């Protein structure tokens, strides 16, 4: 069964460093998303992406964040200058975007630890 994959599973970085989190969505899906979950808290929406552009973003997704689909398969989240409070589990998701099939399929997550 097709699934969303994410790499790395765990990333440790120093405050102020740039990180890139990578995702491979399900191949025939059209919509892509990033969410984050700070330890013990709820899952929060960051950004959605469709047709090579951001379709919606939350207030969390400030200028330090960017997303890109550099080729036909990868979908990346870049944090330019990490802060301690960016430590969280980051989930990528994709959706076919079809009427009646709007569930999002989540990857296993990347745990980001900022020291």
Partner 1 sequence: GDSVTQMEGPVTLSEEAFLTINCTYTATGYPSLFWYVQYPGEGLQLLLKATKADDKGSNKGFEATYRKETTSFHLEKGSVQVSDSAVYFCAAGSSASKIIFGSGTRLSIRP
Options 12-20, 40-48, 70-78, 80-88: segment touching partner 1 (CB under 8 A): 40-48
**Residue 75 interacts with partner 1 (CB under 8 A)?**
no
Radius of gyration of the CA atoms of the chain, in A? 13
- Of 31 and 75, the one with the shorter C-beta distance to partner 1 is 31
Instruction: List, in sequence order, every beta strand (DSSP E) within 1-87.
Output: 5-7, 10-13, 19-24, 31-37, 43-50, 53-57, 65-68, 75-79
- Of 13 and 58, the one with the shorter C-beta distance to partner 1 is 58
**CA torsion through residues 71, 36, 107, 26, sign:** negative
**Residue 109 interacts with partner 1 (CB under 8 A)?**
yes
**Residue 49 interacts with partner 1 (CB under 8 A)?**
no
Q: Which helix (H) or strand (E) holds 26?
A: none
Please report, to the nearest 10 degrees, the dihedral formed by the alpha carbons of residues 18, 36, 68, 112 taken in order. Answer: 30
Judged by CB under 8 A, the residue of 22, 45, 66, 76 near partner 1 is: 45
Contact set with partner 1 (CB under 8 A): 30-31, 33, 35, 41-45, 48, 50, 55-56, 58, 91, 93, 95, 97, 99-100, 102-109
């Amino acid at each position: 069964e097709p699934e969303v994959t994410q790499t790395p599973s765990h990333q440790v970085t120093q405050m102020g460093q740039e990180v890139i989190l990578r995702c491979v969505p399900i191949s025939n899906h059209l919509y892509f998303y990033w969410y984050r979950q700070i330890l013990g808290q709820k899952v929060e929406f960051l950004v959605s992406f469709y047709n090579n552009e951001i379709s919606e973003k939350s207030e969390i997704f400030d200028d330090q964040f960017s997303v890109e689909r550099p080729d036909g398969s990868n979908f990346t989240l870049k944090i330019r200058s990490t802060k301690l409070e960016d430590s969280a589990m980051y989930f990528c998701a994709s959706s076919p975007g079809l009427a009646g099939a709007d569930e999002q399929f989540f990857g296993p997550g990347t745990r980001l630890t900022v020291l």
